[in-house]
Amino acid sequence: MSAGKLWDIFCKVIDNYGDLGVSWRLASGLAVRGQRVRLWVDEPGALQWMAPQGATGVEVRHWTTPLAIGDLRVGEVLVEAFGCQIAPEFIAAYADQSSLGGHKQVWINVEYLSAQAWAGRCHGLPSPVMDAPGADLKRHYFFPGFDARTGGLLREPDLCARQARFDRNAWLARHGIDWRGEQLVCLFCYEPQALGELLRQLAASASPTRLLVTAGRASAAVKSCINEQSAMQPSWNKRNALSFSYLPNLTQVEFDHLLWACDVNFVRGEDSLVRALWAGRAFIWHIYPQSDQAHRDKLEAWLDLINAPASLREFHRVWNALSPRPLPALDPGAWQATAALARAGQLAQDDLVTRLLGFVEKSN
């Protein structure tokens, strides 16, 4: 383990708290390994439900505009999460202290996760800063990823041990879910066009399903679909084969528990993709849509990486509105083996914090 350094991590909450989720996991993961971290975030209030327990060694600071620096000593490692454009006042202080010498400083941009080949080619590359106040400095690009050429994935040292101790029945009972052996499906999504089709399929199935719906956009989308279905066909779920449990905002720890409890996990964004991977259950990824359709190639690269069977590929394409075909039926029995193999392959590699610490040591 490297000697403890002071890290300044900057994060801006865009719209869905995924950036903050990754930044918090990174900050707390560094602290567990003996580092000191200041996490600067423009919406720190979200951490009250995401990580109310805090983390020893992590200080959360409100990123205001302008940012009052005063006589603050900047850390040895500066991290901007996802190119968030760190406050110029802080960059100026960083540049001033870098020019004075005394200790080597490293500026890193932790980028978005991708399974595409270019991530490995670009990982670790330096980039000169051309504009003031950071002119003549350089930052390095650090790409999370799925192979040895990239920065790896966030994973806590005790993750597997915690999962092995998890009590599914106790967790469900604690959340007031009267589980009677039905299939459990986690739904964490945006507003997929195929959501109504999924609900109809599950309602028509001979086997019962309980949908555990996360708070926010997923809950709103499900309730809207139910209203539409009931208006068009009041008897669409007359056998009550499909039941619903609406969950409150979950801490990061409780979100893991949700994924461990379910048979199939629908997840969205990047932080939850990684958590679903560690859960080892069959899962579907709702990738963040981009106007230039760049998410299509990103999704296909991920499906290639895990060697997804044809049924899983087509389900992903329809769920992400990248195919006009009808939504295939859920097939968790066939998809489970794919998830288990993907998890095992990633567990055999170093995690992101381990690789990041090694990268910083080499840069000093």
Active site members? 19, 270
| Cβ proximity of 294 and 313 under 8 Å | no
Are 211 and 187 in contact by the 8 Å Cβ rule? The answer is yes
- Bridge partners of 61, per DSSP, are 40
Do 43 and 13 meet the contact criterion of CB atoms below 8 Å apart?
yes
User: Cis peptide leading into 309, omega within 30 of 0?
Assistant: no
C-alpha–C-alpha distance, residues 238 and 156, integer Å:
44
Residue type, 108: I
With residue 340 as reference, give the H or E element that holds it: helix 332-347
Q: Which of 185, 194, 225, 198 is nearest to 318 (CA)?
A: 194
Residues 6+ apart with CB under 8 A from 57: 30, 31, 32, 34, 35, 36, 37
What 284-293 contacts at long range (C-beta under 8 Å, 24+ apart), as own/partner pairs, is: 284/315, 284/316, 284/319, 285/316, 286/188, 286/189, 286/190, 286/192, 286/319, 286/320, 287/320, 288/16, 288/18, 288/190, 289/190, 289/320, 289/321
Instruction: Give the CA-trace dihedral at 338, 113, 356, 129, to 10 degrees.
Output: 160
Instruction: Identify the DSSP state of 2.
Output: P
Pairing of β 106-110 and β 77-81: parallel
